[in-house]
């Protein structure tokens, strides 16, 4: 029951973000979600103090606290993803989502440690409330995203927001890019490209959802069922976090399309292997089952952290224009929260024996998405895009490069020669003007003595 309440509340929160993000902005949506999260954590923290008085835990307080936390989480993820993407510079957008992915994985690892019964979920709610109480006021110090300001309030307000955000008075080049993106979004009516982006985004979010929520629960339940070990799942999440850290350095060499191609292939093969083992347990009587399964999970989660966790959200966010992003990204996150409900229903019917259905589905989705990702192109900053977007991006980069003549090697050498000749002519003219005022005097020899 609590799983369905959590997933349903997160879906409701994501749908609310599609309206609130356009009306009040992403920053204000994050602030509201933070306050709801604090209220939900406070409600859950009241349950142990209410139990001795009432004799039993109040289901109303429990479900209300879980619902508030779920709604805040559903509002938080799409709003934070859009906000981080929009306040980042063009060159850093490929990496700015990595801290969010790393924090998400580390938070999940801490949550899995608490869920193992070592400390207790009350302290988990306490630390969650404390962190949100610190983060929520800090968000108020940042300005709203420039793209939202340009879309809702106009050019002058966007220029002011950029000056505050970048901490420099001159932002003409970035402001020109924002206006060009806005103009291209209004002129672009390519239905095939829009359908391709929508289909690729839906497949990517389904893969991310099944590989995060459903796969995490499957790993935790698997090791608890035959090995009675809760820490294996925590260790796999730590390995996934290390994969996210490694991807920060790999992105300098590989664009996101190459990372996604490699990780989708690995995740597809790994999910298919897990599904086959769930359907036909070929390690059932092996004495080294725990060791083999643990090593396999470590490799699989490292591959997942290397590409899926660190690249899917930022690429899905970057596929859409600003006005479309207000609706598309929250709805995709609603799908992200709703997809694990199917695996929850299968797990209720049978503890783990029906998991092969969604594991095979995850493997098939990875292979289909792999084919679509190979057909994409790369932006100059490494993100995936369609071929039309790549041509527009390349034309813009060439135009910006052509407008900066003073920074090209040829013009730099030419200007240096011109400045050198100007200095020589200036020195010659000064020497001629002061020729009658000064007399050249030879210095004394080194061996002579001046008295």
For 226-255, give one letter per residue: b (16+ CB within 10 A) or e. eeeebebbbbbbbbbbbbbeebeeebeeeb
Beta-carbon count within 10 A of 381 CB: 19
Same domain as 135, residue 158? no
Phi, psi of 440 (to 5 degrees): -75, 125
Q: Are residues 176 and 271 in the same domain?
A: no
Domain count, the chain: 2
Check whether residue 372 and residue 396 sit in a common domain: yes
Residues 77, 106: Cα–Cα separation, whole Å: 15
**118 and 61 in a common domain:** yes
- Distance between CA atoms of 111 and 113, rounded to whole angstroms? 5
What range defines the domain where residue 82 resides? 2-142+195-402
Token reading at 363: 């493997």
Q: Is residue 420 part of a domain?
A: no
Q: What pLDDT does residue 268 have?
A: 93
CB 314 within 8 A of CB 97: yes
Q: Residue 71, class by beta-carbon neighbours within 10 Å (0-12 exposed, 13-18 middle, 19+ buried)? A: buried
366 and 218 together in one domain: yes
User: 3-state DSSP call for residue 384?
Assistant: strand
Co-location of 171 and 266 in the same domain: no
- As beta bridge partners, residue 378 has 384
* CATH number, domain with residue 87: 1.20.1250.20
The whole-number pLDDT of residue 432 equals 52
The pLDDT value given to residue 283: 72
Q: Which of 83, 76, 63 is nearest to 4 (CA)?
A: 63
- Residue 299 belongs to a domain: yes
Q: Do residues 159 and 288 share a domain? A: no
User: Which of 166, 186, 206 is the last residue in one of the domains?
Assistant: 186
Look at residue 305 and tell me if it is in a domain: yes
Statement: the pTM of the whole predicted model exceeds 0.85: no
| Burial letters 316-326, b for 16+ CB under 10 A, else e | bbbbbbbeebb
What per-residue confidence (pLDDT) applies to 203?
A: 94
Among the candidates 362, 381, 402, a domain finishes at: 402
Neighbours of 357 (CB within 10 A): 15
If asked whether residues 216 and 328 sit together in one domain, one would say yes
Could you list the pLDDT tens digit for every one of the 451 residues in the chain? 777 888 889 999 999 998 998 888 888 898 888 888 888 888 877 776 765 555 555 678 888 888 888 898 899 899 999 999 988 888 888 888 888 888 889 888 888 877 665 556 666 766 776 777 777 777 778 888 888 888 888 888 888 888 888 877 777 777 888 887 777 776 666 656 788 889 999 999 999 999 988 888 888 877 766 655 667 888 899 999 999 998 888 887 888 888 999 999 999 999 999 888 888 877 777 778 778 888 999 999 999 998 888 789 889 998 888 888 889 999 999 999 998 887 777 766 655 567 888 889 999 999 999 999 988 888 888 888 888 888 877 777 777 676 654 445 554 455 555 555 555 555 555 455 444 444 545 555 545 544 4
Judge if 179 and 312 occupy the same domain. Answer: no
Longest dimension (CA), the chain: 113
- What token pair was written down for 72? 């805040």
Are 175 and 269 found together in one domain? no
Alpha carbon distance 397, 274 (integer Å): 45
Dihedral sign, Cα of residue 297, residue 300, residue 305, residue 310: negative
d(CA 106, CA 86): 24
In this structure, is residue 418 part of a structural domain?
no
Domain shared by 182 and 199, yes or no: no
Joined together, the tokens standing for residue 69 give 């936390």
Residue 427 lies in a domain: no
Same domain, 346 and 260: yes
| CA dist list (Å): 113 to 3, 124, 217, 261, 352 | 19, 10, 13, 32, 21
CA distance 278 to 51: 40
Q: How many residues does the chain have?
A: 451
DSSP track, 216-274: HHHHHHHHHHHT--SHHHHHHHHHHHHHHHHHHHHTTTS-HHHHHHHHHHHHHHHHHHH
Distance, in Å, from the CA atom of 317 to the CA atom of 151, rounded to the nearest integer, reads 17
- Residue 423 confidence (pLDDT): 55
């Amino acid at each position: 029951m609590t799983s369905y309440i959590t997933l349903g509340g997160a879906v409701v929160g994501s749908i609310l973000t599609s309206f609130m993000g356009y009306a009040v902005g992403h920053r204000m949506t994050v602030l509201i979600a933070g306050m709801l999260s604090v209220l939900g954590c406070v409600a859950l923290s009241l349950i142990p103090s209410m139990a001795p008085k009432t004799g039993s835990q109040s289901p109303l307080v429990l479900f209300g606290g879980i619902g508030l936390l779920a709604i805040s989480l559903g509002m938080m993820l799409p709003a934070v993803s859009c906000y981080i993407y929009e306040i980042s510079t063009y060159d850093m957008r490929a990496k700015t989502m990595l801290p969010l992915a790393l924090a998400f994985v580390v938070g999940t690892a801490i949550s899995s440690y608490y869920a193992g019964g070592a400390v207790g979920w009350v302290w988990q709610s306490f630390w969650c409330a404390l962190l949100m109480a610190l983060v929520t006021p800090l968000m108020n110090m940042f300005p709203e995203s420039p793209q939202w300001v340009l879309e809702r309030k106009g050019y002058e307000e966007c220029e002011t927001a950029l000056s505050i955000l970048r901490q420099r008075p001159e932002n003409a080049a970035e402001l020109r890019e924002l206006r060009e993106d806005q103009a291209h979004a209004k002129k672009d009516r390519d239905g095939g490209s829009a359908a391709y982006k929508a289909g690729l985004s839906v497949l990517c979010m389904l893969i991310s959802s099944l590989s995060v929520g459903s796969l995490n629960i499957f790993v935790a339940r698997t090791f608890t069922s035959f090995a009675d070990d809760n820490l294996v799942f925590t260790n796999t999440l730590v390995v996934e976090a290390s994969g996210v850290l490694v991807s920060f350095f790999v992105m300098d060499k590989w664009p996101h399309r190459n990372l996604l191609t490699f990780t989708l292939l690995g995740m597809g093969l790994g999910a298919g292997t897990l599904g086959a083992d769930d359907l036909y347990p070929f390690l059932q009587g092996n004495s080294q089952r725990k060791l083999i399964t643990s090593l396999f999970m470590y490799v699989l989660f490292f591959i997942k952290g290397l590409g899926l966790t660190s690249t899917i959200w930022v690429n899905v966010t970057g596929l859409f224009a600003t006005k479309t992003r207000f609706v598309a990204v929250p709805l995709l996150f609603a799908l992200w929260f709703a997809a694990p409900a199917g695996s929850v229903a299968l797990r209720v019917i049978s503890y783990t024996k029906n998991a092969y259905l969604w594991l095979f589905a995850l493997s098939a989705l990875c292979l289909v998405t792999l084919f679509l990702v190979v057909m994409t192109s790369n932006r100059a900053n490494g993100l995936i895009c369609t071929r039309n977007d790549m041509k527009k991006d390349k034309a813009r980069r060439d135009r910006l490069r052509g407008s900066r003549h003073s920074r090209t090697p040829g013009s730099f050498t030419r200007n240096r020669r011109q400045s050198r000749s100007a200095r020589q002519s200036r020195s010659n003219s000064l020497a001629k003007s002061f020729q009658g005022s000064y007399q050249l005097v030879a210095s004394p020899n080194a061996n002579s003595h001046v008295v």
